[in-house]
Structure formats: C-alpha cells, structure tokens
Amino acid sequence: MDNETKIPRGPTKGLIWEDCPACAYKHLTAAYVALATVRQDFSVFSQCCKWDVLMARAEILVREARDGYTGNLAVAIGCVAMAESFGYAMPTRERRPAREWRLKLMAGDLTANLGYTYRPIVEALAHIAEAVREYPDLAGIDILADPAVHITELRETVRQEIRNLEKTFELGQGSEPTGEQS
C-alpha cells in the first residue's frame, strides 16, 4: 500500500476479474479433468446446448460468489438471463426454475441452488468459458469457434493452455498463484 494515498495493491475479490492467469489455470484444470472422463470422441457441440453451458457457468459463478468473489454474482445473473433467452423454445415449466433462481440471485440470495447435474462435456465447456473470461489472452481456445471440434482436440488444446500458463506464470510449480486470493 502507498503510505500517502492508501491505495491498495493487487486485485479485489469484489471485482469482475478479466486478467487472472491463476483463475484461468484453475478453470482449465477443472475442464481437463471433466474432459478426461469422456471416453468417446465426438463433436463437442453435438452433445450439449447453450442453455446447459450457461446454467453450468452460472452455478460455478455462484459458488465463487459464495466464496467471497462477489463480482461474479453479476456474471452469474447474466448467464442465467442469457440462458432464459435461449430457452424460449422450451416449455415454460422447464424455464421457470431458471427465472426464479435468477430473481433470487438478483435479490442477493446466494443460498438458492438449482441442483442440476451436468454431463462432463457441459462442465468442461462452462469452465473453459470462465477461463477465457478471466484471462482473455488464452491463445489456443479459439478452437471453440469450430463447431466440428472433437473431444480429443479440445482436451489437447486445454492441456497445452494449462502448460503455457504454468510456464508463463510459474503456476502449479510450488509458487504463489498470480492474482487469485485466498
């Protein structure tokens, strides 16, 4: 801290982070674990829809908000709102729980939970999306723009991005993570 102006140094848990290599590393390692459980090789986007990925992202973000990263609550609310807009082709009874959850989140209720169980590919894509949001400089993840990308390609790309972050920021090597706070 600067003694004259008392300006705190380093990131704050209440912000929406967009420059956190350690956060991206955390999400990519989670995505890699999820992808490692998928044994078949298929086109990634043939097995999930935007609704599932957005709702899984929202659940990840709410868990992080509960852990004190309060800036993530706004992003979670946005993910649910976006999922609702994609879900208009769905029956109202299927959309209603998402809307009710979003309204509770908007009121600050972090205890509410949808309790959905997502397939590993959905969890992986949600974590990859969060990694890209928290550290947009990930070079290889643009593979997701290809609707024909297969699991094996995606898993290898995620593995390479994990290694790049490890080398560039000395993550996973016994050093203090850059950015993430305990």
User: What is the rounded average pLDDT of the residues 6-28?
Assistant: 75
Whether residue 24 contacts residue 168, with contact meaning beta carbons closer than 8 Å, is answered with: no
Q: Which DSSP symbol is given to 103?
A: H
Per-residue pLDDT tens over the stretch 137-161: 887 787 777 778 889 999 999 999 9
Indicate the average pLDDT of the chain: 84
Per-residue pLDDT tens over the stretch 21-33: 999 999 999 999 9
Of residues 181 and 65, more confidently modeled: 65
If asked whether residues 76 and 107 sit together in one domain, one would say yes
User: What is the rounded average pLDDT of the residues 103-108?
Assistant: 95
11 lies in some domain: no
Distance CA 81, CA 85 (A): 6
Owning domain of residue 82: 49-118
If asked whether residues 66 and 24 sit together in one domain, one would say no
How many domains is the chain built from? 2
Q: What is the pLDDT of residue 3?
A: 38
Upper half-sphere CA count for residue 91 (Cβ side, 13 Å): 2
If asked whether residues 107 and 141 sit together in one domain, one would say no
Upper half-sphere CA count for residue 76 (Cβ side, 13 Å): 29
Distance CA 140, CA 145 (A): 11
Instruction: Give me the phi and psi of 162, to 5 degrees please.
Output: -60, -45
If asked whether residues 28 and 75 sit together in one domain, one would say no
If asked whether residues 57 and 110 sit together in one domain, one would say yes
If asked whether residues 90 and 55 sit together in one domain, one would say yes
